[in-house]
């Protein structure tokens, strides 16, 4: 039994208290164009000095800056432009809004923290510089090493304030990386690369990690034990289940249903691949397709009633939709000769996929009712493996635009494409977790 | 569909049998000279001279591609191998005339070495998604298996595995390289020559 588990990293033991409340503005910042200018001040140490103080003060601010810029909705003002003096406070009335309106900030994030042993308490506030008002105030307690997660949670609040929907920065990405070596292993980390955790370390090929809807397990395929099959790894306990197809064959990949009770998996037998409905332990409930060709890469509609998948029944890989109980499928993509790896948006309206353009691959979305696809990435390099954020407003993917494959994130419109990872190797197959506690 | 379910059973059985002895490389102590004239068959162009096992007269197909990768070796079929790689076009798993010629040569060797059991590996180039390529590699391996079977080689002697795009022979990003990676490779799991 392996001892590897996320518990080694830490469980989610943050507690949150609301320390003030402001009116929800519901203001939505324009996509791509105008960005909301915001200042994020390094946090004040409100307690005794410890070895961690300096790192935490700027670390929390830096994590918030990273998230705000990644969202594409904010322009974070450079810290070197701040003119406020160091004696200014962090609560309403203890600082001058003019120090911030002068440099063009419309939003202002201030906070403080204190460390006691392994525990940290963090207060964070969002101020409206125009209205001279406090909009959000929160107090978080947790372990010192989780300080970046506190920053992610507060940014999710800020985004809720501006857009009416919480952000998605307290989430993780599961992905495959060869870390510059020969083997492909599974990793999970926050979007900013922090709390990186290696799920597999078996020196073979591990592929296609996907989250369970409760965010506690990762399902992946591996060649680690005589041929390929699926494994379900529980992050917090380190427990793992191996899926063994009873009638022989190999599981190539799978996806949890939105309710977490079943899995649609690709099973290869005798050269043919078909889709099967499995229970959480890997037992077959039902065969969903029975085609002589290739049927792979299934994903669920958010209501769990339909499955989108790839089939080569037309002679080339194209995207199809069928009822979750199986039966006839309707073809969704007609443009392009090679369309794969679909994922249904959490809102249900669009499907993102990888399509071939010449000798390159690009990310497209298409309405789940069909119609014209929308190309989101350039064909001057390859972009593949798209995955939706849990709010459907972002798409993460892998791309070789900087040489090796790295993970990127963009808005669902294709705007604001930004790189997430920079390991020495190729990072591929991202899968975005649900929102975490 | 009936034939397919029959295949699952024997496939599963083969996995069990072969799993027990998979790690060992079986070399063929003789006959390599006799087969060396086959080196001009299709697929051979993809080979480059690799120094391993030089100096011996043993014929070997090498170890499985996964084992090669784990040992840091390129998954190349040795030039002396009596079983040649079969090559494919992009996103295709049908057998070209060259592929059939190569498979006939492989069938000849399998007929004269009736105790040999072989694992057929399906490989793809890097383009496209991993899962689709795993399925495509399975199709390629199965196409080779079925053609050998049509030539009278018992399918019980032939297992298949797909590595998709995961273990390429060549790692450049161009067609010259991609075409070398679209292949079915034959690895002898057990069985020496009876001649």
The ipTM value here is 0.90
Q: Are A131 and A56 part of one and the same domain?
A: yes
* pLDDT of B35: 34
In angstroms, what separates the C-alpha of A99 from chain B's closest C-alpha?
52
Q: Are A335 and A201 part of one and the same domain?
A: yes
A15 has pLDDT over 80: no
B54 has pLDDT over 60: no
Averaged pLDDT, A382-406: 96
Q: pLDDT exceeding 90 applies to what percent of chain B? A: 58
Q: Are A216 and A328 part of one and the same domain?
A: yes
Question: Per mean pLDDT, which range of A176-180, A211-215, B87-91, B106-110 is the poorest?
Answer: A176-180
CB contacts under 8 A, B 23-82 vs A, are 66, 69-70, 72
B193 has pLDDT over 60: no
DSSP, res A132? T
Instruction: Give the Cα separation of A101 and A132 in Å (integer).
Output: 10
A58 has pLDDT over 80: yes
Instruction: Give the Cα separation of A375 and A353 in Å (integer).
Output: 10
* pLDDT of A141: 96
A264 has pLDDT over 80: yes
Instruction: Give the Cα separation of A423 and A406 in Å (integer).
Output: 8
Domain containing residue A261: CATH number: 2.120.10.30
CB contacts, 8 Å: A428 with chain B: 130
Q: Are A309 and A419 part of one and the same domain?
A: yes
Tell which residue, A189, A131, A113, A126, has the closest CA to residue A155: A126
Confirm whether B163 is domain-assigned. Answer: yes
Q: Are A221 and A361 part of one and the same domain?
A: yes
Confirm whether B118 is domain-assigned. Answer: yes
Tell which residue, A382, A227, A310, has the closest CA to residue B91: A310
Q: pLDDT exceeding 70 applies to what percent of chain A? A: 92
Segment holding A387, helix H or strand E: strand A383-388
Confirm whether A1 is domain-assigned. Answer: no
B194 has pLDDT over 60: no
Question: Per mean pLDDT, which range of A154-168, A322-336, A414-428 is the poorest?
Answer: A414-428
Instruction: Tell me if residue A353 falls in helix, strand or coil.
Output: strand
Ramachandran angles phi, psi of B111, nearest 5°: -65, -40
Averaged pLDDT, A216-228: 95
Q: How many helices (H) and strands (E) does chain B have?
A: 6, 4
By Cβ distance, the residue of B22, B70, B131 closest to A226 is B22
Number of Cβ within 10 Å of residue A414's Cβ equals 18
Number of domains composing chain B: 1
- As given in the structure block, the two tokens for residue A114 are 């204190």
Confirm whether B35 is domain-assigned. Answer: yes
A340-377: pLDDT as tens digits: 999 999 999 999 999 999 989 999 999 999 999 999 99
* pLDDT of A180: 67
Residues in chain B, total = 195
Alpha carbon A180 to chain centroid distance? 23
* pLDDT of B24: 36
Residues 6+ apart with CB under 8 A from A32: A72, A411, A413, A415, A416
A404 has pLDDT over 70: yes
A39-50: pLDDT as tens digits: 999 999 999 888
CB contacts, 8 Å: A336 with chain B: none
* pLDDT of A50: 82
B61 has pLDDT over 80: no
Regarding predicted confidence, which is higher, A68 or B32?
A: A68
Q: Are A91 and A198 part of one and the same domain?
A: no
Decide which of A137, A163, A189 is a domain's last residue. A163
Confirm whether B65 is domain-assigned. Answer: yes
The DSSP bridge partners found for residue B130 are: none
Ramachandran angles phi, psi of A265, nearest 5°: -130, 155
Q: Are A231 and A314 part of one and the same domain?
A: yes
* pLDDT of A33: 57
Number of domains composing chain A: 2
Regarding predicted confidence, which is higher, A86 or B190?
A: A86
Tell which residue, A333, A331, A365, A362, has the closest CA to residue A351: A365
Q: Are A232 and A147 part of one and the same domain?
A: no
Domain containing residue B84: CATH number: 3.30.1330.60
Instruction: Give the Cα separation of A270 and B15 in Å (integer).
Output: 13
Tell which residue, B61, B29, B35, B30, has the closest CA to residue B189: B61
CA dihedral sign, ordered A327, A331, A332, A337:
positive
pLDDT band at B186 (very low <50, low <70, confident <90, very high): very high
Confirm whether B155 is domain-assigned. Answer: yes
User: What domain range is A109 assigned to?
Assistant: 6-163
Question: Per mean pLDDT, which range of A395-409, A422-436, B26-40 is the poorest?
Answer: B26-40
Averaged pLDDT, A195-214: 96
Task: Give pTM, 2 decimals.
Answer: 0.86
Contact B45, B77 (CB under 8 A): no
Question: Per mean pLDDT, which range of A175-184, A364-373, B29-38 is the poorest?
Answer: B29-38
Confirm whether B195 is domain-assigned. Answer: no
Q: Determine the residue of chain B that is closest to A206 in CA distance.
A: B166
Contact A20, A134 (CB under 8 A): yes
Decide which of A101, A130, A163 is a domain's last residue. A163
The mean pLDDT value of chain A amounts to 92
The C-alpha angle A166, A171, A175, rounded to 5 degrees, equals: 145
Contact between chains at B131 and A253 (C-beta distance less than 8 A): yes
Q: Are A151 and A247 part of one and the same domain?
A: no
Tell which residue, A322, A367, A363, A321, has the closest CA to residue A339: A363
* pLDDT of B62: 77
* pLDDT of B3: 38
Q: Is B177 on the interface with A (CB under 8 A)?
A: no
Q: Is A211 exposed, middle or buried (0-12, 13-18, 19+ CB in 10 A)?
A: buried
User: What domain range is B20 assigned to?
Assistant: 2-190
Q: Is A19 exposed, middle or buried (0-12, 13-18, 19+ CB in 10 A)?
A: middle
Residues 6+ apart with CB under 8 A from A255: A210, A219, A263, A264, A265, A298, A299, A300
Contact A279, A285 (CB under 8 A): yes
Contact between chains at B128 and A338 (C-beta distance less than 8 A): yes
Averaged pLDDT, A174-178: 96
Confirm whether A269 is domain-assigned. Answer: yes
Question: Per mean pLDDT, which range of A67-81, A126-140, B34-48 is the poorest?
Answer: B34-48
Averaged pLDDT, A328-347: 96
What value does the CA radius of gyration of chain A take, rounded to a whole number of Å? Answer: 23
A21 has pLDDT over 50: no
Confirm whether A437 is domain-assigned. Answer: no
* pLDDT of B22: 35
Best residue of B6, B7, B64, B132 to probe chain A, by most A CBs closer than 10 Å: B132
* pLDDT of B60: 72
Q: Are A13 and A96 part of one and the same domain?
A: yes
Confirm whether B178 is domain-assigned. Answer: yes
Domain containing residue A97: CATH number: 3.40.50.10070
* pLDDT of A96: 97
A22 has pLDDT over 50: no
A26 has pLDDT over 70: no
Contact between chains at A317 and B9 (C-beta distance less than 8 A): no
Decide which of A139, A163, A187 is a domain's last residue. A163
Question: Per mean pLDDT, which range of A203-212, A285-294, B45-54 is the poorest?
Answer: B45-54
Contact A163, A29 (CB under 8 A): yes
* pLDDT of A18: 62
Confirm whether B99 is domain-assigned. Answer: yes
């Amino acid at each position: 039994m392996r001892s590897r588990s996320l518990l080694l990293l830490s469980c989610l033991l943050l507690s949150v208290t609301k320390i003030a409340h402001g009116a929800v503005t519901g203001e939505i910042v324009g996509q791509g164009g105008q960005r909301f200018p915001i200042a994020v001040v390094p946090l004040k140490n409100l307690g005794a000095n410890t070895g961690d103080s300096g790192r935490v003060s700027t670390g929390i601010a830096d994590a918030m800056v990273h998230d705000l810029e990644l969202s594409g909705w904010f322009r974070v003002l450079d810290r070197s432009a701040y003119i406020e003096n160091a004696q200014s406070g962090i609560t309403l009335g203890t600082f001058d809004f003019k120090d911030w309106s002068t440099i063009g900030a419309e939003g202002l994030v201030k906070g403080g923290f204190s460390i006691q042993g392994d525990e940290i308490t963090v207060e964070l506030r969002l101020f409206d510089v125009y209205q001279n008002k406090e909009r959000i105030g929160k107090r978080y307690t947790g372990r010192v090493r989780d300080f970046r997660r506190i920053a992610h949670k507060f940014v999710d609040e800020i985004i809720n304030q501006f857009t009416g929907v919480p952000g998605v920065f307290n989430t993780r990405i599961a992905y495959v990386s060869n870390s510059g070596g020969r083997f492909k292993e599974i990793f999970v980390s926050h979007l900013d690369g922090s709390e990186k955790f290696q799920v597999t370390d078996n020196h073979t090929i591990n592929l296609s990690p996907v989250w369970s809807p409760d965010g506690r397990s990762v399902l992946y395929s591996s060649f680690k034990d005589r041929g390929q099959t699926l494994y379900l790894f529980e992050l917090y306990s380190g427990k793992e289940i191996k899926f063994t197809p009873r009638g022989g064959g190999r599981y190539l990949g799978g996806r949890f249903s939105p309710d977490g009770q079943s899995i649609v998996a690709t099973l290869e037998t005798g050269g043919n691949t078909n889709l099967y409905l499995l229970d959480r332990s890997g037992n077959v409930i039902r065969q969903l397709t029975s085609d002589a060709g290739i049927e792979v890469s299934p994903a669920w509609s958010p209501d769990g009633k339909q499955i989108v998948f790839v089939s080569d029944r037309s002679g080339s890989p194209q995207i199809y939709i069928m009822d979750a109980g199986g039966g006839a499928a309707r073809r969704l993509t007609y443009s392009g000769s090679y369309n794969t790896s679909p994922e249904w948006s959490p809102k249900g309206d669009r499907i993102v996929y990888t399509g071939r353009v010449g000798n390159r691959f690009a990310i497209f979305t298409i309405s789940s009712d069909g119609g014209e696809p929308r190309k989101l990435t350039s064909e001057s390099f390859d972009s593949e493996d798209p995955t939706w954020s849990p709010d459907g407003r972002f798409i993460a993917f892998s791309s070789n635009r900087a040489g090796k494959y790295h993970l990127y994130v963009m808005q669902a419109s294709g705007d604001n494409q930004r790189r997430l990872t920079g390991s020495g190797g190729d990072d591929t197959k991202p899968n975005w977790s649900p929102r975490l506690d | 569909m009936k034939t397919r379910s029959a295949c699952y059973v024997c496939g599963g059985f083969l996995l069990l049998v072969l799993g027990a002895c998979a790690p060992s490389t079986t070399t063929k102590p003789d006959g390599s000279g006799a087969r060396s004239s086959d080196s001009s068959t299709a697929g051979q162009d993809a080979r480059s001279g690799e120094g391993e096992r030089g100096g011996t007269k043993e014929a070997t197909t090498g170890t499985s591609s996964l084992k090669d990768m784990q040992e840091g070796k390129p998954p190349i079929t040795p030039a002396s191998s009596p079983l040649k790689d079969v090559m494919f076009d992009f996103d295709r798993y049908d057998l070209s005339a060259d592929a059939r010629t190569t498979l006939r040569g492989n069938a000849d060797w399998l007929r004269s070495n009736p105790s040999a059991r072989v694992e057929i590996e399906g490989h793809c180039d890097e383009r496209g998604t991993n899962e689709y390529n795993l399925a495509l590699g399975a199709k390629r391996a199965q196409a080779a298996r079925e053609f050998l079977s049509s030539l009278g080689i018992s399918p019980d002697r032939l297992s298949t595995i797909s590595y998709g795009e995961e273990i390429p022979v060549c790692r450049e990003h161009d067609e010259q390289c991609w075409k070398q990676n679209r292949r079915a490779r034959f690895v002898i799991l057990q069985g020496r020559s009876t001649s």
